[in-house]
Chains A and B, each alone.
Chain A
Amino acid sequence: MSRRHPFAFWSVFVAAIVLLIIAPLVLPEFWRRFVTEVLIWGLLAMSSDLLIGYTGMVSFGHSAFFGLGMYGAAAALLTTHPASLWAALLYGLIAAAGVAAFVAYFSTRLRDIYFAITTLIFSQIFYVIIFTSTAWTGGENGLNFDQPALAIPGLFSLEFTPKILHWFVLAVVAGSYLLLRRITQSPFGMVLQSIRENEARTRAIGYPVERYKIVSVMLSGLFAGLAGVLYAIQNQFAAPDFVFFVISGQTVIYNVIGGVGTLVGPIVGAGFFLLLSEAFSRLFTAKYLDPIGLHALAGMSYLVPLGLIFILMVIFMPQGLLGFARRWLNR
């Protein structure tokens, strides 16, 4: 419907972008940073939606793509002088692509649950490698580096103030969304969805399913790596924790909460999850709990109620927050 009613889609899209552009101008720094991070995690979740929602391949390994993107950017920012944004993007994407190729190879030989578990284990493999290669990666402590400038050598150079950084991230994420949307609505995207619906039939019709899967994994990995690069630039820090499989798990959570197969759902899911995390962390302190006599709950991690909410959603609302809009967003 959004294709037949492009006006409706575009007006909502533009409205959202405008709100996000204004955000750093009106929000306090903490929340500005919050929105920027939601965008970055949203990009990561969106990249995994390409695999989960559109190709029907559940991956628990996106933390590997994200992490390698982050470390690739770190490598560039540590070795180029002055620290080059474009080098960071390049190195990060190449690193993520490398991991994606590795995963893609196996993706064609494993289905369903085996693929899910194997991607999980792969993200742990990369975690262990990064964690233990202290000489290269700083091991447990991670790497610290300078923020690059938003620069085109010879033309201009802008320092990444929080606002400019936010707008840069917004531009990248919005652009990625539009690009991914184009891809999922293209004939290529249609074949992916056909693979999700019925792989055997798609193969029987004559499509080289393996090739489509490989491309899907590569694309997904690249966008995830891009998110990693953005994260590195924002935080000037890379650590093995981001490669740990729990990050992959949280990514999948954002997907499910937001609604798989919608592209924008995962971003909303990330926002919802992170907002609730923030709310619960603040709530579960003596300040709020004592007055209502629930002092015993103080210090409980926000993940407990959030995890419970997530489980309830899986059982009762598996289509996610935006699941109802799935048709509208895709047709």
Chain B
Amino acid sequence: MSAGMTMTEDGNALSPAREQPLLAVAGIHTYYGKSHILHGVSLEVGRGEVVGLLGRNGVGKSTTLKAIAGLVHPSAGEVVFEGRAIGRLASHKVARLGIGYVPEERRIFPLLTVLENLRTGLDRQGVAKAKRAELLDKVYAYFPILAERRNQRGGTLSGGEQQMLAIARAMTLEPKIVLLDEPTEGLMPRMVSQIAEIVGALRDEGVAVLLVEQNVPLTLQASRRIYFIEKGEVRHHAMAAELSVDDPVIHRYLGV
């Protein structure tokens, strides 16, 4: 699949792009010590679009998200966000540009309370106190369980609750795109559908989502487009609507 093929809103792959994608990753390579992890990954996410990233373990899905979030700097290639090259930026600056990151292990701050965890994103420069209160209320509306547990330490929450907190925390940044790394991993089915709802809610709010997952049904249902990664490269790209769970493509890249 050629790099950087742009999708228009009507889903017609062949129409020229009418607007710049929100996020464009072009041919990025990353190394971990001497290991070559990403061998030229390219993908795009449009404004308010939910895009899935599927692949087996260890192919570089998490690394791709980390490269976008600025936790890892590509040694070649570029990450362009809203027309601006951000590949060299430190991750705190990337976050402030409007990229929210929810890592695979959740990594909420264990000794901070739920509220304090949220405040790490709420207490930003340029956000008035009233606005912060408003944001907080909005987040609590989405995650009532967090409102309940607001003064509890993050480390004492259950796995599912921590996942909620991790997503909520990213939302406090009022991001234009949220990078979700395997949000349903280790969660009960009931929580998995809750995650699906949240992804939908984000999309309804106009927030783009780049969803890395191993859960195929969820990804197919929530995403508009899907990229398939194998051995550090994007090997296939399709509209989610055209795929079914037992598609040979799925078998090919996920070995399910």
**CB atoms of A and B under 8 A apart anywhere in the complex?**
no
Contact residues of B with A, CB < 8 Å? Answer: none
> Which residues of A come within 8 Å of B, CB atoms?
none
